Amino acid sequence: MTQKTRYRVHDGRRYKVVRFRGFEGFIVRWTASCTGCLETEDGHHVGHYDFDEKAKCHLGAGCEECGYHGKTRREEWVPFDEADYLAHEWREWKKERAAS
């Protein structure tokens, strides 16, 4: 099956359409502190961590998980129409709950 790559404009930016559970969305990627080596307690850092200006996050002490960089690349699927998607998820959740 060949599917043509489609694009949609969202908030003034052009995104490649990625379908998930029948909904159209897009992938966002960003860099964040590594949860494996950056310790926090109640949202506060335990110890001192350097701040990475470019990635806009603090760097962990380094561990195997992040390849000793202290930061990792994250990605997440985001629906174009969030309200629609959440309503769908809510219906699915209710169905599941009613079935069990």
Q: Which chain residues interact with Zn ion by CB under 5 A?
A: 34, 36-37, 60, 63, 65-66
Please say which residue, 60 or 79, places its beta carbon nearer to Zn ion. Answer: 60
Please say which residue, 49 or 85, places its beta carbon nearer to Zn ion. Answer: 49
Question: To the nearest whole angstrom, how small is the minimum distance from the Cβ of residue 55 to Zn ion?
Answer: 13
- Tokens standing for residue 71: 């930061």
Question: To the nearest whole angstrom, how small is the minimum distance from the Cβ of residue 70 to Zn ion?
Answer: 6
> In a 10 Å sphere around its CB, with 0-12 CB exposed, 13-18 middle and 19+ buried, how is residue 33 labelled?
buried
Q: Which residue has the tokens 């790559």?
A: 5
Question: To the nearest whole angstrom, how small is the minimum distance from the Cβ of residue 43 to Zn ion?
Answer: 18
- Tokens standing for residue 26: 């897009």
Q: Which amino acid is at 63?
A: C
